Homo-oligomer: A and B are copies of this chain.
Amino acid sequence: MGRQHHDLRGATPAELRAVIRQGGYGGHTAGLAAGALQANIAILPEAAALDFMRFCQRNPKPCPLVGVTDTGDPMLRTLGRDIDIRRDLPAYNVYRDGKLVESRADIVDLWRDDSVGFALGCSFTFEHALQEAGIEMWHIENDTTVPMFRSGLQTVPAGPFGGAMVVSMRAIPEDRVDEVATICARFPQAHGAPVHAGDPAAIGIADTGAPDWGDPAPLPPGHVPVFWACGVTPQVALERAGLALCITHKPGHMLIADVAEDAETTILAPD
């Protein structure tokens, strides 16, 4: 019954979510539903929701908040029509006491009356814009995961949430670094402009060949390592907070929204 990534290339966001909700696809979402916003997900108890929301507000580059459910309501109403945060992602990670204990296809039985769901923008958005400008994304073309590092930059804390900023790295031709920053600054809902370009040691990264997450990528001659605030940052902050129960998307397995990735705001008005 399972569908393959290549079967789904032309599908709309609503068609994709319908297939996923029926258990028909459990793979990654990179390259699907071109032009639609994709989002990282975190689901927490209401008792931690205000602090997490403050953490996102204070760290808009790693944690660009694009949607929040009402408490106990699993529908992400402002990101599209009929988006059920419990069933419409291809895969979820479940954390207990800050430790990953399980990956699974839906979390219907874990959703509670006090659950609050958060959606955060992701790097797919600016990667598409860079590719359209003719800037090569090596990790996409080579089907690997972008290299990510625990940087020396610190987040601004809120309640139990804080810690290091995680950054992703991409090699950019040195004569296009300024242009890349200008393009990405247009997408504050997707990590915005890079946080650093050039010497990795300046942001506490000792060896660009040994990423903390993802796969190594080459730095060809004439290219500069450029670093973006990364959506793994909130995941690390959630692990560090050690909540009794917390649920996220499985990395790369995103929520696909109806909102366009280049929309002025991420809010779809209700009917």
* CB of A229, distance to nearest CB on chain B (Å): 10
> A65 at the A/B interface (Cβ < 8 Å)?
yes
Copies of this chain in its oligomeric complex: 2
Interface residues as binary, A38-68 with B (CB distance below 8 Å gives 1, 0 otherwise):
0000000010011001100111110001011
Considering only CB atoms and an 8 Å cut-off, how many residues of chain A contact the other chain? 31
Most B CB atoms within 10 A — which of A46, A50, A193, A267?
A50
- How near does chain B come to A41, taking the closest CB pair, in angstroms? 15
CA distance A260 to B50 in the complex (A): 26
Complex interface: chain B residues within 8 A of A67 (CB):
57
A30–B60 CA distance with the chains assembled, in angstroms: 28
Q: Is A15 part of the binding interface, using a Cβ–Cβ cutoff of 8 Å? A: no
A269 touches B156 (CB 8 A): yes
What is the bound-complex CA distance between A210 and B107, given in angstroms?
Answer: 53
**In the complex, A192 has a CB within 8 A of chain B:** yes
0/1 per residue, A90-123, Cβ < 8 Å to B?
0000000000000000000000000010000000
- Give the distance to chain B from A259, nearest Cβ to Cβ, in Å: 12
A59/B192 in contact, CB under 8 A: no
A78→B264 contact, CB < 8 A: no
Neighbouring B residues of A68 by C-beta, 8 Å: 54, 57-58
